[in-house]
Amino acid sequence: MKITIIGSGYVGLVTGACLSEHGNDVLCLDLDPRKIEMLQRGEIPIYEPGLEEIVQRNAAAGRLRFTTDIVESVAHGTVQFIAVGTPPDEDGSADLQYVLAAARNIARYMTDYKVVVDKSTVPVGTADKVKAAIGETLRERGVELPFSVVSNPEFLKEGAAVEDFMKPDRIVVGADDERAIHAMRAIYQPFQRNHDRTLVMDVRSAELTKYAANAMLATRISFMNELANLAEVLGADIELVRRGIGSDPRIGYSFLYPGVGYGGSCFPKDVKALCRSAQENGMDLQVLTAVEAANDAQKLRLVQKVVARFGDDLTGKRFALWGLAFKPRTDDMREAPSLVIVQELLSRGATVCAFDPVAMKEARRILGERIDYAASPMAALDNADALLVVTEWKEFQAPDFERVKSLLKQPVIIDGRNLFDPQTVKAYGIDYDAIGRH
């Protein structure tokens, strides 16, 4: 099938690459020429495990191409996936300008039937706006052409995006016409040979499903973060509590890890956008409002622990940070808790030396030379007053604690991800403080 992907970022590139891997003829469009030139040279602008091989293999086979040419991209695919960004607007609502611009571009140049698929995360009612934008542009052109608009939210996780796309838990298709549903089923059939995981529903329910999923996951995180803070006060161990509740199948173990707060390009903006949608409809989502407030507070938790130990004035103090990305296996720094932590430490006069296995280039782009960057986890510790663990990369999980202790000026680890067993670390004579443990 001929497919066009509009927007070649985390979602668009993974979608395009995975669809080409199953034999489709895919053309990926992006308006950023730097991105497209890199992709045309076989380079991947983002870090995502397994993506490079798939892109290179399918590009070499001629099934995956990249362009900045809108006329070419509209002509190419009968199915046009919109996977552009939907960043938060000033009032927290999702900014739809990129989605609607992509829709108008399709309408400007289409000459035959198109299935326009909203893969970006968009508020309920966006498919109607996309439909209206296309209809209006066609009218301006004085032509009448058939098209369908489908909602097909994406549930992939950064860091495991290829795997998630290849083996989806579910494929949500919001559509109200058979022709479009048939096209979507054909596209996704190879990804669900074992059993059908497609959930066909009305467009509005599909749009809301994506926000509901992210809001639920964010809720679990904020819930556990608050309980962890309470466990500290009460002298309980949140790790044991986590296992105690996770064993209940109604609760399950996933997404119950306390930490430094959720970040990334999705949860923060999606929680905000859902709250905003509710407000626009005269409702207050009280649970989610609290989820967001609890998360904002949690991003300061490590700094509170630092201040409790070293005082509010951190002049002359130096802190090693392990991890900058908002989660492991990605270089994505959008809304990363590390940014808040760095900002708070610097504003109190401290210096920071950080190490991240893949996000340092991106961190340097955002933070510049305001912090130092180390060549290895151990190098970051040199002369530091404490180690702060911010991202749970696998390679941080079993360090040589003797060396950690000898490199640090003071043997202090403040662990924002509960990576280590407190007794083990303390046995090395290291002062260890984690989230909700003792």
Ligand X SMILES: NC(=O)c1ccc[n+]([C@@H]2O[C@H](COP(=O)([O-])OP(=O)(O)OC[C@H]3O[C@@H](n4cnc5c(N)ncnc54)[C@H](O)[C@@H]3O)[C@@H](O)[C@H]2O)c1
3-state DSSP assignment of residue 336: coil
Show the site string, 159-198: x = touches ligand X by CB under 6 A, - = not: ----------------------------------------
179 labelled binding-site residue: no
426 labelled binding-site residue: no
Catalytic residue among 18, 28, 266, 353: 266
150 neighbors 174 (Cβ within 8 angstroms): yes
Q: What is the number of the residue whose Cβ is closest to ligand X?
A: 9
Element (H, E) at 216: helix 203-234
Minimum distance from CB of 160 to ligand X (Å)?
Answer: 10
3-state DSSP assignment of residue 202: coil
Neighbours of 424 (CB within 10 A): 11
Cα-Cα-Cα-Cα torsion 360, 363, 365, 366, nearest 10 degrees, comes to: -170
94 neighbors 273 (Cβ within 8 angstroms): yes
Q: How many CA atoms lie within 13 A of 89 on its CB side?
A: 14
For the beta sheet containing 351-355, the strands, ordered from the edge strand earlier in sequence to the opposite edge, are 372-373, 351-355, 318-322, 386-389, 412-415, 431-433
DSSP string, 23-51: T-EEEEE-S-HHHHHHHHTT--SS--TTH
Stretch that binds ligand X, among 17-25, 83-91, 274-282, 301-309 (CB under 6 A): 83-91
Total residues contacting ligand X by CB under 6 A comes to: 26
Q: What share of the chain is helix, strand, coil (3-state, %, to 5)?
A: 45, 15, 40
Element (H, E) at 71: helix 70-76
Query: In the range 239-278, which residues lie near ligand X by CB under 6 A?
Result: 265-266
Asked whether position 211 contacts ligand X by CB under 6 A, the answer is no
Asked whether position 147 contacts ligand X by CB under 6 A, the answer is no
Question: Which residues 6+ apart lie within 8 Å of 26 measured at CB?
Answer: 3, 4, 5, 16, 17, 19, 20, 58, 63, 64, 65, 77
Minimum distance from CB of 244 to ligand X (Å)?
Answer: 31
Of residues 30, 226, 415, 433, which one binds ligand X by CB under 6 A?
A: 30
Q: Which is nearer to ligand X, 154 or 433 (CB)?
A: 154
Q: Which of 307, 282, 366, 303 is nearest to 331 (CA)?
A: 366
Asked whether position 415 contacts ligand X by CB under 6 A, the answer is no
Q: Which is nearer to ligand X, 46 or 175 (CB)?
A: 46
Q: How many CA atoms lie within 13 A of 172 on its CB side?
A: 24
Q: Which is nearer to ligand X, 261 or 263 (CB)?
A: 263
Neighbours of 186 (CB within 10 A): 12
Asked whether position 11 contacts ligand X by CB under 6 A, the answer is yes
Minimum distance from CB of 395 to ligand X (Å)?
Answer: 22
State yes or no: is 28 an active-site residue: no
What whole-number distance in Å separates Cα of residue 51 and Cα of residue 17?
A: 8
Question: Which residues 6+ apart lie within 8 Å of 155 measured at CB?
Answer: 164, 168, 169, 170, 172, 210, 213
Asked whether position 27 contacts ligand X by CB under 6 A, the answer is no
Asked whether position 102 contacts ligand X by CB under 6 A, the answer is yes
Q: Which is nearer to ligand X, 155 or 223 (CB)?
A: 155
Asked whether position 158 contacts ligand X by CB under 6 A, the answer is yes
Q: Which is nearer to ligand X, 7 or 263 (CB)?
A: 7
Asked whether position 7 contacts ligand X by CB under 6 A, the answer is yes
Of residues 23, 32, 60, 243, which one binds ligand X by CB under 6 A?
A: 32
Of residues 38, 101, 346, 378, which one binds ligand X by CB under 6 A?
A: 101
372 neighbors 354 (Cβ within 8 angstroms): yes
Stretch that binds ligand X, among 53-61, 97-105, 183-191, 370-378 (CB under 6 A): 97-105
Of residues 1, 22, 25, 31, which one binds ligand X by CB under 6 A?
A: 31
Asked whether position 156 contacts ligand X by CB under 6 A, the answer is yes
121 labelled binding-site residue: yes
Give residues in contact with ligand X (CB under 6 A).
6-12, 29-32, 35, 83-86, 98, 101-102, 120-121, 154, 156, 158, 265-266
Active centre residues (catalytic): 266
Q: Please enumerate, by residue number, every residue annotated as part of a binding site for NAD(+).
A: 30, 35, 86, 121, 158, 269, 334
